[in-house]
Amino acid sequence: MLEKHALFRDFRAFELPDGEIRSLYLHWSAGPYDQTSSAYHFVVGYERGQLFARQTHDVRENMRSLSEDLPYAAHTRGRNSYAIGVSALSMLDATPQNFGPAPLTDELVDALCAMCAFLARRYHIIIDAEHVMTHAEAAIIDSYFGLLPEERWDLARLRPVPVPITASEAKASGEALRARIRSYL
Ligand SMILES: [Zn+2]
C-alpha cells in the first residue's frame, strides 16, 4: 500500500499544483546515488546510505506545449510537453553486464514505482505503455535505443546479466515496472 511506503512522507512534501500532466517517463541518471539533477522533476536516491525521494524541478514548467525558448525539465528528447520525468539516481559507468559502483537496486526500483503511483494518482495518468514508459522504450520508438553516448537504455534491464541487451527485453522491463506501479494504486 502506498501510504505505508517508507518514502510516503517524502512524496507528500512534493509540490503538485493543478494542471495537465499526461505522461510519466522513467529514467536512471547514469551518475552517483546522491547527485540530483534538475533535468528530472522527481528523483529517488541514497544520501549517506539513506534512501530518499526529492523534487528537483517545478512541474508547472512542463504543463504546456514546449518550445526551445522556455525553461523546462528536459528529461526525454521530444517528449517533455505535459510530461513528468522521474529518475533513480544510479548507474554511474554502468554497462548491461556490470552495473558499476552505483548499481540500480531493487529498493530504488521499488521507490521509483511507488513514486510513479503517487504521481499517477495525483494527475490521473493512465498506467499503460503509451502514458508511462521508460527512457529505453521512448528511445526504441524514437530510434535512439542503445549503448552509444547519444543513445539511451535507461531501465531496459533491472539487474546485470552477461548477455547483450535487446529491445524486447527493454519492453518486458517496462511491462514489469508498470505492473509494479499498478500494485501501488
Ligand atoms: Zn534518461
pLDDT 10s digits, 96-113: 999 999 999 999 999 999
- Domain spans, the chain: 2-182
Question: How confident is the model at residue 76, as a pLDDT?
Answer: 81
Residues of the chain with pLDDT below 70 are 67-69
Q: What is the CATH number that goes with domain 2-182?
A: 3.40.80
Query: What torsion, rounded to 10 degrees, do the Cα atoms 70, 74, 150, 103 define?
Result: 160
Distance 123 CA to ligand 1 centre (A): 21
Question: How confident is the model at residue 121, as a pLDDT?
Answer: 97
Question: How confident is the model at residue 52, as a pLDDT?
Answer: 98
Distance 154 CA to ligand 1 centre (A): 5
Query: Is the overall model pTM greater than 0.75, yes or no?
Result: yes
Distance CA 178, CA 95 (A): 23
Distance 117 CA to ligand 1 centre (A): 19
Distances (CA, A) of 121 to 6, 24, 63, 114, 118: 18, 12, 16, 11, 5
Question: How confident is the model at residue 134, as a pLDDT?
Answer: 98
pLDDT digits (tens, 9 = 90+) for 69-85: 677 778 788 788 899 99
Here the cell at position 95 is 554497462
Strand partners, 53: 44
Question: How confident is the model at residue 68, as a pLDDT?
Answer: 62
